Amino acid sequence: MELANKLFRGDRVIWIIFMFLCLISVIEVFSATSTIAYKNVYFWAPIMRHATFLLIGFVIILLLHNIPYRFFSAFIVFLPISILMLIVTPFIGVSANDAHRWLDIFGIQFQPSEFAKLASIVFIAFMLSKRGKFTEKQIYNSILIGVGITCLLIFPENFSTAIMLFGVCYLMMFIGQLSIKKLIKLGAILVASGGLFLCLILFTPESVAKYLPDRLATWKARIERFSVGKKQSDGTEGVLKITDDNYQEIHAKIAIAQGGLIGKMPGHGQQRDFLPQAYSDFIYAIIIEEMGFIGGMFVLLLYVILLVRVGMIARKCDKPFPKYLVLGCGLLLVVQALANMAVAVDLIPVTGQPMPLISRGGTSTMISCIYFGIILSVSRFGAGIGNEDIPIEETEEEESGQKLNEQLETEMEVK
């Protein structure tokens, strides 16, 4: 017990949520990767790869939650680096699913957009915390330029990620109490631009569309399938026809329908053999099929509790930087999870967003663990949660060290 108290500091509820998500992830990814497991000489290879990433992510959390939150402002350096990587990715990146989203450096593949999301959240939290040093106009313009460039570079290859990131950043600006007039004006411009872009996608003649990027055709197909509907009659009323266009959505619906209240139990799902991305984009449908409505609601509840808990941590923070930082991390995790769930239950078109910590992945899993590490660090050093079992002498040393750093920062500002 004493060892656990030393290792797992910070908000205990966040730790519990993390452990449950990892447990569900290992079970469901092991079940959902059956389609790729038999292709490997070593049957356990897919789940071992995923478990390794989760284990590395766990170590990252253990390290990060012991680092005071003020040091995370250094992550801002990833913003210009991410922008540079996003610029070169379409030219030298690895192509997957008709999009160049991956970079391969020394045999290691990763998505620059994941680092860009992390850097954008830290950048906004940092700028919002500098109200005394910069005017509101300077803060607003800096955020708009930095995040705007990042989202525009992500947009061509990963439409949903760009929209989601900017939506979270917009919420952070609203929570940061920037000018309502400016935010309303920005929102109106974005809605108008989105409407025009939608019209461009849907009503561009085929003779012209063939000269446009292939991603536009992909977006158009997804929007049309979602808006028109997936039921296609083959001449018999009430008969559902599965085609190449609605293949994923229909099998996701079948998985959800077969789940019932308690599901078929892990390892007994059938649609994992039909869904191409059963272990990633549509893993929530597999969760419902194998764990039922109860399991699906439990996973949803975990993310809802995570958001509520993040809000409680933010309220206990005395300083603005940790407050905005923890809110940004929590919002990004929960919004991405909700987007994945919405795709699985056919509320929105297919987006390709993985479920944080649960979906099989490398870069996404690692970055999600970094978010959890930041949240736990803020809960410990910013909100003072989870330090109850720490000896008084150790707590006093941490507080004195923090005060000394604050004094040094003040002296440097004066100079």
393 part of a folded domain:
no
Specify the pLDDT at position 397: 46
- Identify whether 294 is part of a domain: yes
Q: Which has the closest alpha carbon to 9: 399, 393, 406, 386?
A: 386
Residue 353 pLDDT class (50, 70, 90 cuts): confident
Most confident of 60-64, 74-78, 345-349: 60-64
- Looking at mean pLDDT, say which of 220-234, 238-252, 304-318, 400-414 comes out highest: 304-318
pLDDT in the model for residue 393: 44
Q: Note the pTM of the prediction, 2 decimals.
A: 0.85
In a domain, 25, yes or no: yes
Tell me which of 10-19, 86-95, 178-187, 351-360 is least confident: 86-95
pLDDT at 33: 81
Residue the block writes with tokens 């970055």:
367
- pLDDT value, residue 317: 93
Q: How high is the mean pLDDT of the chain?
A: 82
Residue 394's pLDDT band (boundaries 50, 70, 90)?
Answer: very low
pLDDT category of residue 171 using cuts at 50, 70 and 90: very high
Local confidence band at 41 (pLDDT 50, 70, 90 cut-offs):
low
- Residue 22: domain span: 2-232+240-384
Q: Which H, E and C letters describe the chain, residue by residue?
A: CHHHHHHCCCCHHHHHHHHHHHHHHHHHHHHHCHHHHCCCCCCCHHHHHHHHHHHHHHHHHHHHCCCCHHHHHHHHHHHHHHHHHHHHHHHHCEEECCEEEEEEECCEEECHHHHHHHHHHHHHHHHHCCCCCCCHHHHHHHHHHHHHHHHHHHCCCCHHHHHHHHHHHHHHHHHCCCCHHHHHHHHHHHHHHHHHHHHHHHHCCHHHHCCCCHHHHHHHHHHHHHHHCCCCCCCCCCCCCCCCCCHHHHHHHHHHHHHCCCCCCCCCCCHHHCCCCCCCCCHHHHHHHHHHHHHHHHHHHHHHHHHHHHHHHHHHCCCHHHHHHHHHHHHHHHHHHHHHHHHHCCCCCCCCCCCCCCCCCCHHHHHHHHHHHHHHHHHHHHCCCCCCCCCHHHHHHHHHHHHHHHHHHHHHHHC
Number of separate domains in the chain: 1
Spatial separation of the C-alpha atoms in residues 192 and 31, rounded to whole Å? 44
Residue 385 and residue 314 in contact, taking contact as beta carbons nearer than 8 Å: no
- What tens digit of pLDDT does each residue of 195-235 get? 887 777 777 766 655 555 555 666 666 666 666 554 444 44
Alpha-carbon radius of gyration of the chain: 23
Q: Per residue in 257-301, pLDDT tens?
A: 888 888 889 888 888 877 877 888 889 999 999 999 999 999 999
**Percent share of the chain, pLDDT over 90:** 44
pLDDT at 412: 47
Q: Examine residue 398 and state whether it is found in any structural domain, yes or no.
A: no
Q: Are 354 and 364 in contact (CB under 8 A)?
A: yes
Report if residue 403 sits inside a domain.
no
What is residue 25's predicted lDDT score, i.e. its pLDDT? 93
Structure confidence at residue 6 (pLDDT): 72
63-67, 83-87, 109-113: least confident range: 109-113
- For residue 50, being part of any structural domain is answered with yes
At 81 the pLDDT is: 93
Count of CB atoms within 10 A of residue 46's CB? Answer: 22
CB atoms within 10 A of CB 76: 17
227 within a domain of the structure (yes/no) = yes
> Is residue 411 in some structural domain?
no
